[in-house]
A and B are shown apart, each in its own frame.
Chain A
């Protein structure tokens, strides 16, 4: 085989691979495409930046984060996946979706070449949660679908509740302004 053919094959192989971040929640490992993560922050850093949602519309979403004029909802990944309650230490700020994910820790970064489709026997919400499964060593790790953290309906619900809360707050401030001496 010529060196040009070898390079071409190597190029094809690389074009199929992708970088993933392997993170864990309640001892369960997940992978997410590196390109779908905009930023990784410590959960502590949310203290000043995130606002607690007054009303618990979704159990898994307690906070929102304002960034570049957009509102991101902070999803507790443990509650999202139905795992044991943990103390998340990191926040994955996601690209292209208005969600951040609270996770326990980052395990490693890897390059994977194939994401296997979830077996069709799985028919529940996991089909939305995962893009597929990655075989990493002897382990099967679900590859998270970033858009699966919040459905459009859930985002719409959260937006509506946020708008209603803002309107109520404005009305309350107006009333206080009228009654104040």
Chain B
């Protein structure tokens, strides 16, 4: 029965993927809804495949963070920090407090509120990057600002996750400071050494055979992630660091090789998260979720507006940047997963509801702001292009 259940599960995921692409949305909310139906208290509970899904989910998180690290080079991280550091701070200051306050209001202990702050803070790199490409906005002037905010959020995640892990484990401020100092040290060390000696790791991992690259990189990542977990940091951060350390020359190939594996395990991770959430618990928190979604939609638009304005982009572009950032997805679920694993089961339904709403609303908003803003805000007069003598 195990294989049959798993086979049906993946076939189901394939159909959901088709449906979501047809609608121009991310598959994440669809997977979550389906998993809610399969989990405890759901319509057709999954039985024999559940233990596998749980362990595969752990690998899913590791692979999500590894490929995230592979996306960015140290140069890009430093350039984003220099250019958009203030945007990153505005992002944190606008988007984390609503989650924290909402967490305290619904009676979560402060580590739970902190998890919720992370859930509302971090946009979904996956959804946003796909959206920019689908809408043909890669060449737009506001796009560097949007991508910089995403990069800064990703690097902030590497510091936030260890802090959260310490807080969830009930550690005091001293442990929290140590945890973050360690994480910060590790991130800086990896960034600097990747910059200087990245090609050595590249030589260690590189091989003409794809299978060798896959096994070496996957093995190394699981090893580092496991060690990071053993010393009380987060496995996800270990994986992220491995991703950053891989030199750009190998990163493109590594992404292509790991892509299908990542898709498979990441989907399983979303399923596992949905399975662990009781669908009947989502309904009572829906009012909180909707208010939180509304508030953090506005604050994210504010973030994008601020970042795009720093790049000298005009109003329609600022609105495009803001709405592009609204979508929350995989990272919110990863953060919620940590909280649920630490025994704060109440975070699960809130995060599920929240991601369900914003993973759908974000892309829809980003699509529809374009015709509206250009109609309302574009200048009436045509700018006549001035010929410029070059020399």
A binds B: no
